[in-house]
């Protein structure tokens, strides 16, 4: 019988929620052990976001707070001149500007 304790680094794809990642890991490890495995994460990413998630397993679930305090880096793509209902890619675009600005004008 296997026992899993530790961390997994998962590159979360877009369109999969953080809860979905945890569920898939829990299911996979439970298939190996034959029993339910405790699995958590150290921070939520929006479903449209991609990035590295720290998944904690077994006894490491108690240490999730340690990992969530670590420094993080973010990359973003910004589309200027558009307004959405939510401020992210999941919202409906409600306004578009046709105004063109050069860097010298800013």
What is the set of active-site residues? 46
Secondary structure (3-state) at 82: strand
* 73 Cβ contact partners less than 8 Å away, ≥ 6 residues apart: none
Contact 10, 53 (CB under 8 A): yes
Contact 34, 2 (CB under 8 A): no
d(CA 71, CA 60): 19
């Amino acid at each position: 019988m296997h026992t899993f304790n530790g961390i997994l680094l998962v590159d979360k794809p877009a369109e999969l929620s953080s809860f979905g990642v945890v569920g898939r890991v829990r299911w996979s490890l439970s298939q190996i052990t034959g029993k339910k495995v405790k699995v958590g994460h150290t921070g939520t990413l929006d479903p449209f976001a991609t990035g590295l998630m720290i998944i904690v397993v077994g006894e490491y679930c108690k240490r999730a707070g340690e990992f969530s305090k670590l420094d993080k880096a973010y990359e973003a793509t910004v589309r200027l001149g558009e307004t959405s209902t939510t401020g992210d890619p999941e919202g409906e675009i409600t306004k578009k500007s046709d105004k063109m600005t050069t860097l010298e004008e800013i």
